[in-house]
Structure 1
């Protein structure tokens, strides 16, 4: 893919990715810190407890001066749910795939490991060998590969029987156990992806039901097809395979005992306290996560089936058509000059709806005609008046953007107050608003403190405005200023 294709792809992700939106918002450190702390010991937290905890953190941060916000905890939580950073079901909150990706990215910055470790190479080699055996159509080739693997295992057995016990060095042990933690920590992200795919399929299918005119049999057939489709997606098939392994009692017990054995040895001290706790509770956490996926999937399927079998979709369409017809008739009655408060015997056979008169209906009718009786007609003139020219003398936001970019290229990073010192604001608050619009359009960093800006309006009156401090740099601007949403 060439540069143009890649930049188009990344620009789309920049706009659409919920994880990228989380990382670039001004209060991202506070959001990520709260989510990481809230779900540090459990993967599902009641909404009420989360609201109380966030209220306490906001109050404490406000007293310390590190998060001067006046927004309530409930508003923040609802906004994070709407943005796809948290998920609410049955009055409980869980992380989403977007928040998992953002947290994993931040954790990776703090826990960077060498990308060329021996454990990485060993994992790749074993995966390549297993895949080569699994996909080879040649029976002799498969036998040869398996014989080679068998001979390698036999050599290890003979060495151990001869008293030769290879011991990993301390650095190798540290490297391998950290690799185990890194691989295990991404498992929960697979569950989040499965949940997201279930919800997307549910939404798409409901839209299809509403927009299409299909029979109930076709709808049920489509539901079964969608259920089969879910298991064929990348996340769905990965989850199906994982759950089969999780249900294998022997392998699960073996895995749990091996983890306990590793963590009880000195190599377990190479992990931090949170990493050690995560691995010690890994099987329990995976069981809970898989159960929640099944609960979401079961809830979605039951909701779809009840929605279809009750005929709610068809009834909604019929009611909408009937109400639209009634509204058109009521508008015709009003236009004919009839008294809209007249009692009628109108009744609708769709439930306990009772309409006594057309006036009691909330009509979606056009506005009244504009009264132009007092309008005076003036002859057109080729020369605009002074009043018209004064109205047209408005601040051009795009010109302000060009001016800001040129100043930043010459002087370096600046705030709006320093930009106003370099280029005094002479068009009043409208020009200051233009500077703020430019700062928001380029996603300038908003600092904690505020700053004062001196503004002079067109009449020469001097004003002092207190605004948030935005740090602008030339690198934030796109190559084409016209791309900015101003």
Structure 2
């Protein structure tokens, strides 16, 4: 009603309005309003859900979590939020199932895995990106974005110009500019970007990189939709006359021949090109080493350091998904399952035709002398099961007297320290160091808190750094005194313990 009133007012004022455009946009927005990402943004507990999902899946390399780790970490987060007064009456397991049903999480059971794994769905990741950009707004028109748009328009105009003379003129201008820049460098006149402009361009690259990584979720969903569509076409096709069925029988990868498949293959070839990949990795390394990069926050530097590896991880996942869909499609066609699906579909069509033929003789409210017995089974996910709690079962309170031992408590403690790494003490040392500085490497922690268990302490620090630290591409020298009193030195990967991830140490 308001839309009609608004359109009528504009027409009375002599302003031309496209009703088709308004109606089409209204229809699209109404449909989008029912999407999981929109429902997440307007949920009553949106701050709670977005905060938990962000910490669980968007910080560090853990973008896929097994069920046990997800429940454990979510339990700690819910406890912290409850201490702030948030009303969270359900258990972590119940919240996980609720978010899964809402379409904010995706669940999978990989091959050779002992438990299910969870990750953000496409809609959940998109909602997080929207909120993150609202928390970190950028300026309305930055110099780097303007330069990027101008360069794209100029390249597009040149690439679509069929005039040979125009292309020659452009190449000559480019050569003149390069020659002038070479002469300036040789004469010692080297100009670099100001730190503020350099940080602006770096953040613009990070923002576009985050969008690029987010595109992979949509690509995977698109391949899944293509796989379902092809299976439906195969089942509903007529015999061996269908083009898709004939291509599958001929061994053609029909998923790779789709538009999405061709686009992804082109991206895959570009990313796995040895020359381009080496240049890209070297450029990232140089950018992070520049002085202006020290003004970026830890999360931005970590993104740049892991950008290439994350791209490769995502493309590998998509490549595996694409190949598995193609292989399963081939197996589906050559198995009895395909014939059984077609037989069931044929029976359903016959039943529908039989029901339509009875419409003139059977009324809708007529009682039929027929009883249909149906079977059912309650199917639950493994993640919904609860482990048995022995504390709830009362045991025998009777205790027998044991013989006194002549072992001293000091001897027992010394034996334990020799037999296993004292992880609790290592975590305490890390907390002690991070109370003074915002980040520290393994060698810096060892400098403040010497290795009490020799090499065992060093190995323990490396294990904690792999799980809770920030990885880099560099290495460092660590030094410790062994249990035999001899000082030793080794070359180890460079990790940083940071205050931002201190809560993960438990």
TM-score, reference length from structure 1 = 0.61
CA-to-aligned-CA distance 1:313-370 (integer Å, 9 cap, x gap): 32134367779999xxxxxxxxxxxxxxxxxxxxxxxxxxxxxxxx999369xxxxxx
CA contact (8 A) 1:86 1:94 kept: yes
Distance 1:320 1:163 in 2: 78
2:85 corresponds, among 65, 74, 77, to 65
Structure 1 residues 150 and 214, CA gap change in structure 2 (3 angstroms): farther
Q: 1:218 to 1:314 in 2, by over 3 A?
A: farther
The match for 1:205 is 230
Matches within 5 A, 1:349-364: 362=373
Describe the superposition over 1:138-171 as per-residue Cα deviations: whole angstroms up to 9, x where unpaired. Answer: 2222222222222222221111112211132232
Q: Is residue 8 of structure 1 aligned with residue 36 of structure 2?
A: no
Q: Which moved more, 1:203-212 or 1:220-229?
A: 220-229
**Against the structure 1 CA distance between its residues 194 and 310, is the aligned structure 2 distance closer, same or farther, given a 3 Å change threshold?**
same
**1:166-221 deviation per Cα after TM superposition (whole angstroms, max 9, x unaligned):** 13223212212211211222121121111010011122222333444433874434
Q: Distance in 2 between matches of 1:67 and 1:209?
A: 50
The answer (yes or no) to whether the contact 1:54–1:73 under 8 Å persists in 2 is: yes
Residue 41 of structure 1 corresponds to: 60
Task: Give the structure 2 partner of residue 98 of structure 1.
Answer: 123
User: Retained in 1: the 8 A contact 2:105–2:118?
Assistant: yes
Structure 1 residue ranges, 4+ long, deviating more than 6 angstroms after superposition? 320-326
Is this contact kept in 2: 1:177–1:267, CA < 8 A?
Answer: no
- The reply to whether residue 143 of structure 1 matches residue 171 of structure 2 is no
Equivalence for 2:39: 21
Name the counterpart of 1:51.
71
- Closer, same or farther in 2 for the Cα pair 1:53/1:183, shift >3 Å? same
Of the three residues 104, 110, 118, the one matched with 1:85 is: 104
State the SS of the aligned residue for 1:220: helix
Checking the alignment, whether the CA contact within 8 Å between 1:58 and 1:69 is kept in structure 2 is no
Q: Are the aligned partners of 1:201 and 1:226 in contact in 2 as well (CA < 8 Å)?
A: no
Deviation, structure 1 residue 294: 0.9
Query: 217, 221, 228: which is aligned to 1:196?
Result: 221
Tell me the equivalent position of 2:285: 260
Aligned counterpart in structure 2 of residue 304 of structure 1, from 329, 332, 339: 329
Quick one: distance in 2 between partners of 1:217 and 1:6? 37
Q: Is 2:266 the counterpart of 1:241?
A: yes
What are the equivalent positions in structure 2 for 1:410-425 lying under 5 Å apart?
none
Give the match for residue 315 of structure 2.
290
Asked if 1:76 is matched to 2:79, the reply is no
The one of 273, 276, 279 aligned to 1:251? 276
How far did 1:286 drift?
Answer: 0.9
Q: Distance in 2 between matches of 1:88 and 1:57?
A: 20
Contact 1:95 1:192 in 2 (8 A): no
Residues in 2 aligned to 1:134 and 1:11: alpha-carbon distance in whole angstroms: 39
1:256-294 CA distance string (max 9 Å, x none): 122111112221122111111111111111111111111
The number of aligned residues is 327
Indicate if the aligned counterparts of 2:36 and 2:123 stay in contact, CA closer than 8 A. Answer: yes
Residues in 1 aligned to 2:337 and 2:195: alpha-carbon distance in whole angstroms: 65
Unpaired runs of 5+ residues, structure 2, are 1-17, 111-115, 352-369, 376-506
2:255 paired residue number: 227
Deviations 1:379-415 (A, max 9, x none): xxxxxxxxxxxxxxxxxxxxxxxxxxxxxxxxxxxxx
Whether contact under 8 Å (1:133, 1:146) holds in the other structure is: no
Aligned with 2:203 (options 154, 178, 194): 178
Give the aligned partner of residue 418 of structure 1: none
- Partner Cα separation in structure 2 for residue 228 and residue 325 of structure 1: 35
Structural RMSD (CA):
3.0
Q: Does structure 2 conserve the Cα–Cα contact (< 8 Å) formed by 1:259 and 1:279?
A: yes
CA shift digits 1:99-150 (9 cap, x unpaired):
2221111111111111311111111122222222322222222222222222
